[in-house]
Chain A
């Protein structure tokens, strides 16, 4: 399924492969455009706050900032389309074609493949989430052992992937309002306006707190995670966040003896 090294050793440290350069570039485009959108959009959402006007003027004022916003929005929409094509191609190349070659492709099999994709939430995610709450509320003694994609990462992924299809078209309608008025009545703009502003608030509140906690604020990550640059997780991060996957990879590579115990918050666990 994967044709890359799952683990490389650099300077005697184990590094676990996570994102391809292609994926990392998509992330860079994603966050640059989202940050631009937030900077040019948020002052407009709360214009009466004291920071709004200086920030908006810094972003170009009432003449330039809307153009910046529309540009960044267009980039984000294109990225969304690009990413959709990207995962469909990957899906066919890695999951469907091998089946087809073996002649095992059925309609049921196709959907089964679709639902077992890496990013699709599954039963283990629900169990992990419940286990995590049990652990956080001191009912169990050890945190859940996440696979390659934890439920929180899936949520992080689907936040923009669900957000853009709502924000983007709504923003597009608001942008080309005169032209769209020939296709639909004016009150659609009222709906688009609510969709655009409230979904944007969710995205911004979520990204700048939950996502940034995951990759910046968390004590283990502070000041910043490096996986978005290097594409590799360190052994420590791997143990901390993806223990199940860590064990799996180590066994696959025949390194059973070198498996370290799970740890969290300065406590190690028997495994």
Chain B
């Protein structure tokens, strides 16, 4: 996989207030970066042949949790005008928000720590690097800019925002777009911020990559997941069916803590599977026996003999019956085109003549 290069921005802001145009599109953009970055065509092909687009869609940026952050809070190496190609953003740096529950400066460091301890971390428990650690994901391999997916609770639950619903809040908190943004922030968290189908796509980025799978000796788990009822319902747009994260993260834990099934604390460790399946939102009433269901079936004779032989049987039956009748019908149609022909001429005597109707 191509290592993602730094977000660069060739264009620049101008420092003095004088130069900030009076119609600056958004108050948040104090630095006026969008003066250049609002242009859809601000792009280039870099030295390695990667296409780089420096356009920023302000509306979409504003419906993400990062709204209101100044560009240089993340792109912190940009400190002069004009700026040189920017470095890759370090997601774990502290930003200027005070995290309200702990009154500390906010940072994604905790998440990075969780990730580093998970199956996707780059180090083994003894501190040495894992083999092929360059394949293992960092933030941007799974995340693009998160977007709010608010829920509307007014007369039924559906995605979107109900103006009637938030009108109650607005009667007191009337200033600015505080209510909308606060509402979006909270209700987006009340359900999946990305659909299950998108989550599967995120995992598939690596877990369906043949090269990576070979290097790490992995089965194509995304393919086998897509063969299951869960996978198929998700493909059809269900949001009540589990995706990868739902089963591979211990209920209540951080989603970044995905552990190998060989680790005793993981949700997929043989003795933990039953608990995972029987979490309250899923197979609550099932017995622990349900855990012997095989999810990632590859139809290999060694690993899954039952499925292998059943499939051979059914596919054999299917092919035999269908192609038998297909041939029969084909020849029956052909016979209609040459109704009087017989290889043995003596037998043609049976035929009385052409029908008159």
Residues of A within 8 A of B (CB): 43-45, 47-48, 52-53, 56-57, 61-62, 132-133, 135-142, 174, 177-179, 181-182, 184-187, 189-191, 193-195, 198-199, 201-202, 205-206, 209-210, 213, 219, 261, 263-270
Contacts and interface: CB of A to CB of B under 8 A. Distances in A.
B328 A47 contact: no
Nearest to B285: A178
Nearest to A196: B229
Contact size range, B: 35 or more
B343 A139 contact: yes
Nearest to B333: A219
Nearest to A53: B236
Nearest to B284: A178
A264 B347 CA distance: 16
Nearest to B317: A202
A183 B285 CA distance: 13
Interface in B261-303: 283-287, 289-294, 297
A61 B284 CA distance: 24
B289 A213 contact: no
A6 to B, nearest CB: 25
B236 A56 contact: yes
Interface string B215-240: 00000000000101100110111111
Interface in B184-199: none
B287 A137 contact: no
A213 B329 contact: yes
B331 A44 contact: no
Given A52-B236, A195-B310, 20 more contacts: A47-B232, A53-B236, A133-B331, A139-B344, A141-B342, A141-B348, A141-B350, A141-B351, A142-B351, A177-B283, A177-B286, A181-B287, A181-B290, A182-B289, A186-B294, A195-B314, A198-B314, A201-B318, A213-B329, A268-B353
A138 B340 CA distance: 9
Contacts of A268: 351-355
11 contacts: A47-B232, A47-B233, A48-B226, A62-B236, A140-B342, A141-B348, A178-B285, A193-B228, A193-B229, A209-B326, A269-B352
A265 B326 contact: no
Contacts of B294: 186-187, 190
A189 B326 CA distance: 32
A186 B310 contact: no
A140 B347 contact: yes
Contacts of A142: 350-351
Per DSSP, chain A at the interface is helix
Contact of A186 (B237, B292, B315): B292
A198 B238 contact: no
A10 to B, nearest CB: 20
Nearest to A129: B328
A268 B236 CA distance: 54
A219 B336 CA distance: 9
B332 interface: yes
A199 B314 contact: yes
B233 A44 contact: yes
A214 B239 CA distance: 42
B325 interface: yes
Contacts of A136: 328, 331-332, 334-335
A138 B342 contact: yes
B314 A181 contact: no
Nearest to A139: B343
Nearest to B322: A205
A62 B241 CA distance: 10
A190 B290 contact: no
B325 A206 contact: yes
B220 to A, nearest CB: 15
